[in-house]
């Protein structure tokens, strides 16, 4: 098909607004972020001091707190990948059996993800509260009296896991919806044929559901990794990185540095963090492609 220059111009005009918005609000900030990461700047001074890779070097080799925060995010991510997605898959499989009130379950399970993270964090903070939290109230009424005044978010052993539980509660609905949509695209004929061949439910799941769902698992896994590694609002509203820095994650560290006027340093942190996420995501894609074959 021949496209005339005039038609080309018209076509270009259609994408121009989106292109300008993308360049202004995505590409330019990204470029500036890269540029800023080579400077020492507090966001106010007129002059920015060029420091080259010094900030990168400091983050990579001399900032254990940042890497500790990365491990914390990794811990939350591993819990989300296993427990959260396991629960999401289980519920999706149950709802996919065309049970009564399927749509009601969909709505209920999808409610937590659409709630504001800060609001969810504040509500759960009350649940975990050592003084008048409902969790301790239940535990004590069940006979676990040791939990009197137990502050879940202030104990090193429980703080991060407590936040991770809320993160999983808030996040499993996304996985549930995507997995359910994936399950519904698998042709019923495959299961019928397998049944005729004498395959039991477990064999059907193993040889039909899982292979057909690999592309969906890949998407859910990547979204879970990106969402969990970038956790911020729950940490901010529940612990602010405490106790004693034990629940800091990369985004809260970046926020901390930026709030203290370290714009260059925090953007260098953000770029390193972005690189880590890219590597993990590409790794996951590579693995899933291998499985697909």
Partner 1 sequence: MRKSLLLKVLLLAFVVAVFGCSQKQEQQIDDKNVVKVWHWMTDRQAAFDKLAEQYYKETGVKVVFETYAPTDVYKNKVTAAASGQLLPEIFNPLSDKRELSSYIKAGFIEDLTDEMNAGWKDVFFTKSLEQNKFEEGNEWGVKPGYYGVPLDVSSLMIYYNKDLFVQAGLDPNNPPKTWKEFIEAGKKLRAANIQPFVSGFGESWLIGAFASSYQWSLFGKQGILDTIDGKIAYNDPRWVRIFSLLNEMKENKMFAAGMVTMVNKDAERTFATGRAGMSFNGSWGVNVYKSMNPNLNYGVMAPPVLEDAKYPLLIFGGDGSAMFVNAMSPKKDKAIAFLKWLSQRPQQSFLAKETLNIPSNKESAQDLPEVLKVFSESIANTFENLPKLEAWQVTNYININLQSVMIGEKTPKIAADEVQAEKIRQEKAKK
> Using the rule CB under 8 A, is 114 a contact of partner 1?
no
Closer CB to partner 1, residue 215 or residue 242? 242
> Using the rule CB under 8 A, is 17 a contact of partner 1?
yes
SS3 39: strand
Q: CA 172 to CA 289: how far, in whole Å?
A: 24
Full DSSP string of 209-232: IHHHHHHHHHHHHHHHHHHHHT--
Q: CA 127 to CA 237: how far, in whole Å?
A: 13
> Using the rule CB under 8 A, is 147 a contact of partner 1?
no
Which one of 1, 3, 4, 13 is in contact with partner 1 (CB under 8 A)? 13
Which residues from 192-231 bind partner 1, rule CB under 8 A? none
Q: For residue 9, what are its two tokens? A: 């111009």
Packing angle between helix 263-292 and helix 250-259, nearest 10 degrees? 160
Which one of 44, 99, 114, 196 is in contact with partner 1 (CB under 8 A)? 44
Q: How far is the CB of 242 from partner 1 (least distance, A)?
A: 4
Half-sphere exposure (Cβ direction) of 27: Cα atoms closer than 13 Å: 7
> Using the rule CB under 8 A, is 103 a contact of partner 1?
no
The DSSP symbol for 243 reads: S
Place of tokens 């535990």: 139
> Using the rule CB under 8 A, is 150 a contact of partner 1?
yes
Q: How far is the CB of 33 from partner 1 (least distance, A)?
A: 14
Closer CB to partner 1, residue 106 or residue 240? 240
> Using the rule CB under 8 A, is 3 a contact of partner 1?
no
Burial grade of 67 (CB within 10 A; 0-12, 13-18, 19 or more): middle
Which residues from 249-288 bind partner 1, rule CB under 8 A? 256, 258-261
Which one of 43, 86, 187, 283 is in contact with partner 1 (CB under 8 A)? 43
Closest Cα partner for 249 from 127, 171, 123, 163? Answer: 163
CA angle, 31 as apex, 28 and 33 as ends, to 5°?
Answer: 110
- What H or E segment, with its residue span, contains residue 283? helix 263-292
Instruction: List C-alpha distances in Å: 251 to 136, 137, 230.
Output: 30, 33, 6
Q: How far is the CB of 131 from partner 1 (least distance, A)?
A: 5
Which one of 36, 76, 89, 159 is in contact with partner 1 (CB under 8 A)? 159
Q: How far is the CB of 262 from partner 1 (least distance, A)?
A: 8
Stretch that binds partner 1, among 81-89, 225-233, 241-249, 274-282 (CB under 8 A): 241-249
Stretch that binds partner 1, among 10-18, 30-38, 83-91, 273-281 (CB under 8 A): 10-18
**Residues that bind partner 1 in the complex, under the rule CB under 8 A:** 10, 13-14, 16-17, 42-46, 58, 62, 129-131, 149-151, 153-156, 159, 238-240, 242-245, 256, 258-261
């Amino acid at each position: 098909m021949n496209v005339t220059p005039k038609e080309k111009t018209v076509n270009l005009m259609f994408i121009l607004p989106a292109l300008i918005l993308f360049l202004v609000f995505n590409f330019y900030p990204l470029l500036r972020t890269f540029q800023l990461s080579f400077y020492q700047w507090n966001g106010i001074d007129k002059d920015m001091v060029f420091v080259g890779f010094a900030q990168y070097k400091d983050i990579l080799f001399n900032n254990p707190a940042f890497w500790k925060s990365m491990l914390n995010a990794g811990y939350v991510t591993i819990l989300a990948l296993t427990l959260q997605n396991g629960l999401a898959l289980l519920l999706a499989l149950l709802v996919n059996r065309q049970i009564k009130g399927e749509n009601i379950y969909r709505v209920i399970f999808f409610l937590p993800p659409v709630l504001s993270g800060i609001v969810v964090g504040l509500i759960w903070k009350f649940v975990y509260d050592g003084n008048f939290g409902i969790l301790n109230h239940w535990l004590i009424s069940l006979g676990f009296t040791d939990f009197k005044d137990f502050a879940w978010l202030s104990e090193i052993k429980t703080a991060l896991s407590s936040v991770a539980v809320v993160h999983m509660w808030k996040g499993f609905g996304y996985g549930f919806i995507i997995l359910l949509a994936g399950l519904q695209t698998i042709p019923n004929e495959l299961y019928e044929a397998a049944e005729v061949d004498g395959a039991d439910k477990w064999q059907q799941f193993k040889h039909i559901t899982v292979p057909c769902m690999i592309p969906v698992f890949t998407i859910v896994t990547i979204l879970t990794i990106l969402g969990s590694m970038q956790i911020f609002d729950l940490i901010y509203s529940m612990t602010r990185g405490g106790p004693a820095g034990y629940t800091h994650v990369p985004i809260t560290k970046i926020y901390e540095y930026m709030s203290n006027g370290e714009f260059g340093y925090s953007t260098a942190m953000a770029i390193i963090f972005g690189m880590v996420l890219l590597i993990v995501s590409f790794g996951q894609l590579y693995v899933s492609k291998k499985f697909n074959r």
